Amino acid sequence: MPTKIEKDAVTGRSTTGHEWDGIKELNTPLPRWWLYVFYACIAWSVGYYVFYPSLPWVHGVLGWSRRAELAETMQAERERIRPMLERIRATPIAAVDRSPELRDFAFAGGRAAFADNCAPCHGAGGAGAKGGFPALVDDEWIWGGDLAAIERTILYGVRSSHPDTRASQMPRFGADQILTAAQIADTAEHVLSLSGRSTDGAAAARGSAIFADNCAACHGPAGRGNVELGSPDLADRIWLFGSDKAAIAHSIHLGRGGVMPAWNTRLDEATIKMLTVYVHSLGGGR
C-alpha cells in the first residue's frame, strides 16, 4: 500500500509513497528530451501505419509494398533475360555449348537452378554423397557423360515414374536366394580385386567364376560397367553405397539402386538445357 509522500532527506526529491522493506521509491520524472522523442516516435508510427502497409490486409494510402516492388523487379529481370532464354530453347544443346555467349549465360543460369533443385542430393558443388547420390565433379558417369546423355537423364530421371526414365535393376542375389552368403562374400572379394584391394586371393578366385556367371553380362568381364545399361564401373574406386567388403556384399545381397526424379514436368526446356551445360562443366566434359 502507498505510504505518505514525503521529501527524501538525501536527495531532496519527493517520494512516490511506495516503500518495500524500508526502501522508498523516488519520484524522478523522465527527461523532457526523452519524452519528446517518445512522442515523436508514436506520431511517426501512426503516420507510417497510414501511408505504408502495416498489416497484411492493409496496403496504406500510398499503395506501396515491398512484395509488389519485388514482383516488379522480378518481372523486369524476366523480360531482360527472355531473349536469351528463347535463343537457348531454339538451339540444340550441343550448339549452346559451342557458343561462348550462350554457354556463359547457360552456365550462370544452370548454377542457380542446380542450387535450387539438385544440390540437396548431389551437394552444393556436385560432390555427391554416400547412399546413392553420384558425384558429378569427376568424369565417371553411370548413364553417360556427354551433353545429350546428361540432358536425357535430367529430363526423365532414373527409376522415376516417367515412361522414358532411365531404368536398370540389379538382381537381389541374396534376398532372392540366387547366391548363398558364402558366394556373395567371395563375389565381394573379387569385386575388391578389380580395383586392387582384395586381401583374400583364394576367395577372389572363387568369386571370379561367380562374377562371370552372374555379373559380367551387365558390368563387363573386367567390371568396367556399361553406360547403356546404367551399370557402374567396379574397377575404379568410386562407390555410391560404400567401398568396404561389407558394403559391397550388402549391395550384392539387396541389389541397391538410387532414384532421381524426372525434371521435364518441373523445369522448363531452357532451364534443363542450362542445367545440362552446368553439370557437364563440373566433370571432365566427355
Please give the annotated binding residues for heme c, written as ranges: 118, 121-122, 170, 215, 218-219, 260
C-alpha cell at 214: 552372374
Q: Which residues contact 224 (CB under 8 A, 6 or more apart)?
A: 233, 234, 235
Q: Are 286 and 141 in contact (CB under 8 A)?
A: yes
Q: Is 238 left (phi over 0), alpha (psi -120 to 50) or beta?
A: beta
Amino acid letter for position 260 = M
Which residue's C-alpha cell is 490486409?
57
Q: Which residues carry a binding-site annotation?
A: 118, 121-122, 170, 215, 218-219, 260
